[in-house]
């Protein structure tokens, strides 16, 4: 079984996107912010969490955010949430076997 490791960098639209971990605090509703995409710095920051599935869902969610912004796709946030969760599951199935 292959281990899944969050990459330190991805490439979106020919641009290097740094991926790092760091505390992001809480949103206006008091929920922990799990991930953040910053277009100006081409950076994805992921909050450290103990649950690997949540970490990967956050990674894929922010990767889709980066694709959405880079290509000006105007994907609704609800769709980005679904894509992040679905891509995470597909990635898990591929790396761990179906």
Question: Is residue 2 one of the residues assigned to a domain?
Answer: no
Which structural domain, as residue segments, surrounds residue 60? 9-96
To the nearest 10°, report the CA torsion of 89, 44, 2, 52: -60
Is there a domain that residue 3 lies in? no
CATH of the domain at 20: 3.30.2010
Find, among 65, 45, 66, 68, the residue nearest to 55 by Cα.
Answer: 45
65-78: pLDDT as tens digits: 999 999 999 999 99
d(CA 88, CA 84) in angstroms, rounded, equals 6
DSSP 3-state of 78: helix
Q: What was the pLDDT predicted at 7?
A: 97
Q: So what's the pLDDT on residue 92?
A: 94
Residue at 4 is within a domain: no
């Amino acid at each position: 079984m292959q281990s899944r490791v969050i990459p330190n960098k991805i490439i979106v639209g020919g641009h290097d996107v740094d991926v790092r971990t760091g505390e992001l605090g809480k949103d206006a509703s008091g929920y922990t912010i799990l991930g953040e995409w910053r277009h100006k710095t081409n950076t994805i920051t992921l909050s450290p969490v103990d649950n690997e599935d949540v970490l990967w869902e956050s990674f894929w969610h922010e990767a889709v955010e980066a694709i959405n912004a880079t290509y000006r796709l105007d994907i609704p946030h609800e769709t980005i949430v679904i894509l992040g969760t679905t891509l995470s599951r597909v990635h898990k199935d591929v790396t761990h076997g179906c």
